[in-house]
Amino acid sequence: MELNASIRKAASRTIEMEASAISQLVNLLDDNFDNAIDKLAACKGRIVISGIGKSAIIAQKIVATLNSTGSPSVFLHAADAIHGDLGIVQQEDAVIIISKSGESAEIKVLVPLVKNFGNCLIAITGNIKSFLARKADYVLNTTVDQEACPNNLAPTTSTTAQMVMGDAIAVCLMEKRGFNMEDFARFHPGGTLGKKLYLRVSDLYVENERPEVRHDQSVKEVIMEMTRKRLGVTAVLDSEGLLAGIITDGDLRRMLEKNTSIENIKASDILTPSPKTIGPTEMAVNALDIMRKNEIMQLVVIENGRYLGIIHLHDLVKEGLI
C-alpha cells in the first residue's frame, strides 16, 4: 500500500507541475505570438518545423496537427537538415525551430542557413536569451520553471509546453482562415470521425429497397411488400403519391392481436401517420440521433413531400457510426 501511495503521489505531482506550466504560458504570450500568427497565415508556402531530440518528436506532432487543420506543413529533422535535407525548405516557406535550450549544436548550424535563405524564422524556445532566440524573427516563449522529472533532466514539462504552444498556433490559424467542419471533413475522410463529418443520408438509403404501398391496398399486399423489401417497414402513399404514413412489423403484430379476420383491412386502417422523416442531404449522424431519441429503427427519407426511401439503423451500424 505504501508503494502504491508513492506512485500515486509521483503521478499527481507530475500532472500538477505540467498543468501549472501550461497555465503560465498564457502570461508569456506577447506581440511576438500575434505577429508570428499573422506571418504564418500569410505564408504562401508551407510551414517547415524542425527540432532535435524530444523537440523533434513534438515538431512531428505539430506538423500533423497543422496539416489536418488546413495549414500545409512538413517536418525537418535538425540533424538531417545539415546533411542534405535542407533542400526541403523552399523560398516561400516559413520555418519554426523548436528547442528548449536554443543552444544545441545542430540548431546553431541550422539557424544561419535558414536566415541566409531569407525565410521567416520563428523560435519556440524556453530560453529567450539563447542563440536561437536572438537570431529568430519571432520568439514564442515556452519557459518552464522545472521539469517534472525528479532529477529535473528528462524533457517532460518543457515538451508539454512546446506541444501546447503548437496547438495554440494551429487553432489560431484555423480561426484566421475560417477553417470549418466541412474543411475538416475533407482532410479526415477515413474512419468513424470522417464518416460523421461527410456521410449523408443520400449515401445510404439509395442502397436499400424502396418499400411502398398505396393507402387502399390490402393487409396481405402490405405483408408481401414488407417481406420482399426486408426492412421491417413500408411507406404508405396517398392517392397523390405523397407520404400518408408508415406500417412497421410492430403495427402488423398489434393488428393481428386485435383482429381474427384481416380480409377487409386496408393499409390506411393500420398505418402510423406523421412518421419521423429526414431529408437526403442531412448528415447520417443526424439520422442516428433521431433514431436514438425516438427509439426507432428506421427513418423515412423525403424531399419536398415526396417519398424517396428508407434509412435503417443497420445502415449506420455497417458504416461504423455506432
Rounded Cα distance between 136 and 205, Å, is: 56
Using alpha carbons, list the distances in angstroms from residue 97 to 64, 139, 151, 199, 217.
16, 10, 26, 38, 74
Rounded Cα distance between 316 and 284, Å, is: 7
Residue showing cell 447520417:
284
On whether 215 is known to bind a ligand per the annotation, the reply is: no
Q: Is 163 exposed, middle or buried (0-12, 13-18, 19+ CB in 10 A)?
A: buried
Neighbours of 272 (CB within 10 A): 15
DSSP 164-211: HHHHHHHHHHHHHHT--HHHHHHH--SHHHHHHHH-BTHHHHTTS---
Cell triple for 164: 501546447
Please state whether 117 falls in left (phi above 0), alpha (psi between -120 and 50) or beta.
alpha
DSSP 149-160: STTS-SSSHHHH
Beta-bridge partner residues of 234 = 247
SS3 43: coil
Phi, psi (degrees; rounded to nearest 5) at 19: -65, -40
Cell triple for 55: 523537440
Beta-bridge partner residues of 245 = 236
**Residue length of the chain:** 322
Q: Which residues are annotated as a binding site for Zn(2+)?
A: 77
Q: Which residues are annotated as a binding site?
A: 77
